Amino acid sequence: MKQIYLTVFFLVLSIATASAGGPWPQKKGHGYFKLSEWWTIFDQHYTDSGQIDPNVTSGVFNTSFYAEYGITNRFTTIVNVPLLSRNLINNLRSETTNEIIVAGDAINTIGDIDVGLKYGITKRGATIPIAVSLILGIPTGTENGGSQQNLNTGDGEFNQILRIDAGRGFNLGSYSAYLSAYTAINNRSNNYSEEFRYGIEFGLGTFNKKLWTSTKINVVESFKNGATAETITSTSLFANNTEYSSITLEANYYLTKHIGISASIAGAFRGEIIAAAPSYSLGVFYDMK
Amino acid sequence: MKNPNLILISFLALLMTACIKDDFVDDKVDPLLRIISAIDTIEINTTYQFESKYLNNVGNEEDVDVIWSSSDPSIIEISANGLAFAKTEGQAIISVSLGNDTSSLMDSAEVNVGDNTIKIKQFSMGTIRTTSSYKLEGDFELKEQENGLNLSFADNYSASTALPGLFVYFSNNKNSIANAFEIGSVEVFNGAHSYELVGVGFSDYKYIVYFCKPFNVKVGDGEL
C-alpha cells in the first residue's frame, strides 16, 4: 500500500505532469525508486466534441526515473525525471504513387521534470490517512520540436498541482486491500487552462503481498479559462482544454523483499483533444523499506 | 529477471515500435483535363492562345499531349498548340482532349468572335463543410481581381478553435495537401473575413481544404 503510483498520460501536445498518489507518505529514511518505460502509439484522437477522429500515427516513449524518499515520517519528497523522451510522427505516403507527402519526424530529449512534496496530515496508523501534496512541473522538455514544430516532449509551462489524498487499508478475506481517492487542482502557466482532477484507486495484495494489483480511475476536467487558437497570437500551434477520464490497470510484483517489476496499461474512455489509444508501462522498482 | 533473453526480446520489440513508419492516404482521384483560358469573345482577325491543364490521378499537374479542335473552323480556326484565329463573327465551341489515348477526358468552351476581345472575370461561390468531428461551416466567394484572387467568407462562417495549427489551402485533391497552395493559417474562427491572394490563378485548383497542418488531420473542404 505504500507504493506511490505514477500516471503519465499523453495529451496530444504535452506530457501530463506526473502525480504521486495515495495518502501514505514514506517512513523516515525509507524510499521507493523506479526505472520505467512508458509508451503510447496512436492513430486516432478524441476531438473537441468528444468524438474520435483519425490522425497520422504518432508515438511517445518515455524512459523515466521516479523516486520518493521519506525525509520525516510525514514529509516525503518526490521526483520524476523522464530521462529520455521520444516523440515521433509517421511518414504520410500516397496510397496511389507511394511518394511521401509529408515526411515523418522524431525528437529525443529529456522530458518535463516533476518535483514534489507530500505531507501526511494524519498520524501514521490513522483509520483514514489523509495527505496533501504539492507537485511542481518544470518545463525541461522540448516544446514545438521537429521540422514542423509538431513534436513535443514537454508542454513548455510551469505548473503547480495541489492535491489531497485520503484512503484506507483493510483486509478483504485473506487478502490485503486498500481504497484511496484524491482531488487536485492543476494551476498552469503560459496561457494553458487550469485543471480540476480527481480519481479513485483500489488495490489488492495477493501471494503474501508479493503481487499488488490495482485499478485506477482518473478524471481531468479543464476550467477552459486559458487561450485557444482564436485568442492566442504568438503561435499557431496551440492546443488547450484537454480533458479525459481514464482507467489504469497495474500490477507490481516483488521478486525479492525490496526489488520488483511493474506493468500497467491505461486508456481514456472519454476525452477531448487527447490520444484515443492505450498507453503501456513496464518498470523495475526498488522499495527501500 | 530469470529469463534475460525474454527481457532483451521485449526491449528490442519495443525499440522497433519506436521507429518512424508509414501511414498511407487514399489520394486517388479521377484525372481531369480543363481549359483554363477564360475568354468570352475574340476580336475578329486576331489570335488568342488557349491553355489547358491536365491533373493526374492524384490531382497533380502533368504535361500531356492534347488535341485542340473547333466546332466551326470557318468562325474560329485553332492550331494543334491551341492558337486560335478569329475569322468571322459568330460562335464556335473550342474543345481540348487528350492526344495520347482514347479516354473521354475533354473540356470545351463556347467562344464568340466580335469587335473586341472580352475576357471573363471569373467568379464562383460555394460552401465549406466539415469532414471531421471539428466544426467547420460557411459560405464563400472566389473572385478574380486585377492582381490575383479574393477569397471571402460570409457571416455564417465558423470553425473550431480547438485544433492547433489549422491551415487553409487550395488543392486539386480533397484528401491531400501535396502540391497544394497554402493560403495561410486560420486566424479568424467566426464571421466574415477574406484573403487577398497573389501567385495563384482562378482555375488552378478545384477545392478549398482545411487541414490541421502539424498533425495532418483533414478538417473539411469546399468545392471551388
Residue A282 inside a domain? The answer is: yes
Task: Please tell me if residue A58 touches chain B, with a CB cutoff of 8 Å.
Answer: yes
Given a cut of 90, is residue A236 above it in pLDDT? no
pLDDT of residue B163: 84
CA distance A229 to chain B (A): 5
User: What are the Cα distances from residue A52, in Å, to A41, A44, A268, B69?
Assistant: 15, 6, 11, 51
Per-residue pLDDT tens over the stretch A57-74: 999 999 999 999 999 999
The residue of B9, B20, B56, B136 whose CB has the most chain A CBs within 10 angstroms, and thus the best one to mutate to test that interface, is B20
Per-residue pLDDT tens over the stretch A71-122: 999 999 999 999 999 999 999 999 999 999 999 999 999 999 999 999 999 9
Task: Please tell me if residue B177 touches chain A, with a CB cutoff of 8 Å.
Answer: yes
Task: Please tell me if residue A228 touches chain B, with a CB cutoff of 8 Å.
Answer: yes
Task: Please tell me if residue A150 touches chain B, with a CB cutoff of 8 Å.
Answer: yes
Residue A238 inside a domain? The answer is: yes
Given a cut of 50, is residue A55 above it in pLDDT? yes
Contact B90, B110 (CB under 8 A): no
CA distance A45 to chain B (A): 10
Given a cut of 60, is residue A3 above it in pLDDT? no
pLDDT of residue A211: 97
Indicate yes or no: CB of A47 within 8 angstroms of CB of B1.
Answer: no
Given a cut of 80, is residue A11 above it in pLDDT? no
Residue A76 inside a domain? The answer is: yes
CA distance B206 to chain A (A): 19
pLDDT of residue B165: 85
Contact A135, A163 (CB under 8 A): yes
pLDDT of residue A194: 94
pLDDT of residue A6: 25
Task: Please tell me if residue B178 touches chain A, with a CB cutoff of 8 Å.
Answer: yes
Which of residues 130 through 149 in chain A touch B, CB cutoff 8 A? Answer: 148-149
Output the average pLDDT for chain B: 91
Residue A108 inside a domain? The answer is: yes
Given a cut of 70, is residue A255 above it in pLDDT? yes
pLDDT of residue A4: 26
Which residues from chain A sit within 8 angstroms of residue B20, using beta carbons?
A: 88-91, 104-106
Given a cut of 60, is residue A235 above it in pLDDT? no
CATH number for the domain that contains residue A150: 2.40.128.130
Per-residue pLDDT tens over the stretch A162-219: 999 999 999 999 999 999 999 999 999 888 899 999 999 999 999 999 999 999 999 9
Per-residue pLDDT tens over the stretch B62-109: 999 999 999 999 999 999 999 999 999 999 999 999 876 656 799 999
Q: How confident is the model at residue B213 (pLDDT cuts 50, 70, 90)?
A: confident
Residue A153 inside a domain? The answer is: yes
The contacts of residue A126 (CB under 8 Å, 6+ apart) are none
What does the block give as the cell for B73?
473552323
Residue A118 inside a domain? The answer is: yes
List of long-range contacts for B86-89, beta carbons under 8 Å, 24+ apart: B86/B42, B86/B43, B86/B44, B86/B45, B86/B46, B86/B47, B86/B48, B86/B113, B87/B44, B87/B45, B87/B113, B88/B44, B88/B113, B89/B44, B89/B113, B89/B114
Q: How confident is the model at residue B214 (pLDDT cuts 50, 70, 90)?
A: confident
Which of residues 237 through 266 in chain A touch B, CB cutoff 8 A? Answer: 237-241, 255, 261
CA distance A137 to chain B (A): 22
Task: Please tell me if residue B119 touches chain A, with a CB cutoff of 8 Å.
Answer: no
Contact B123, B142 (CB under 8 A): yes
pLDDT of residue B146: 85
ipTM of the complex: 0.84
Q: How confident is the model at residue A231 (pLDDT cuts 50, 70, 90)?
A: confident
* Other Cβ atoms closer than 10 A to B223: 12
Indicate yes or no: CB of A229 within 8 angstroms of CB of B216.
Answer: no
Minimum Cα–Cα distance from A239: chain B residue:
B164
Given a cut of 80, is residue A1 above it in pLDDT? no
Per-residue pLDDT tens over the stretch A112-163: 999 999 999 999 889 999 999 999 999 999 988 998 888 989 888 899 999 9
Map grid coordinates 521478486 to a residue.
A255
Ranges of each domain in chain B:
32-119, 123-223
**pLDDT, greater one: B133 or A157:** B133
User: What's at A148, amino acid-wise?
Assistant: Q
Based on the structure, what is the number of domains in chain A?
A: 1
Given a cut of 80, is residue A13 above it in pLDDT? no
Residue A3 inside a domain? The answer is: no
Which residues from chain A sit within 8 angstroms of residue B22, using beta carbons?
A: 90-93, 104
Which of residues 179 through 218 in chain A touch B, CB cutoff 8 A? Answer: none
Angle at the Cα of A23 from the Cα atoms of A22 and A28, rounded to 5 degrees: 110
Q: Give domain B32-119's CATH architecture.
A: Sandwich (2.60)
Residue A5 inside a domain? The answer is: no
Can you tell me the distance from the alpha carbon of A186 to that of A195, in angstroms, rounded to the nearest whole number? 5
Range of the domain at A87: 10-288
pLDDT of residue B16: 60
Map chain A to HEC letters: CCCCCECCCEECCEECCCCECCCCCCCCCCEEEEEEEEEEEEEEEECCCCCEEEEEEEEEEEEEEEEEEECCCCEEEEEEEEEEEEEEECEEEECCCCCEEECCEEEEECCCEEEEEEEECCCCCCCCCEEEEEEEEECCCCCCECCCCCECCCCCCCEEEEEEEEEEEEEECCEEEEEEEEEEEEEECCCCCCEEEEEEEEEEEECCCCEEEEEEEEEEEECCCCCCCCCCCCCCCCCCCCEEEEEEEEEEEECCCCEEEEEEEEEEEEEECEECCCEEEEEEEEEEC
Q: How confident is the model at residue B11 (pLDDT cuts 50, 70, 90)?
A: low
Choose the closest CB to A273 out of B162, B166, B186.
B162
Mean pLDDT in residue range A210-231: 92
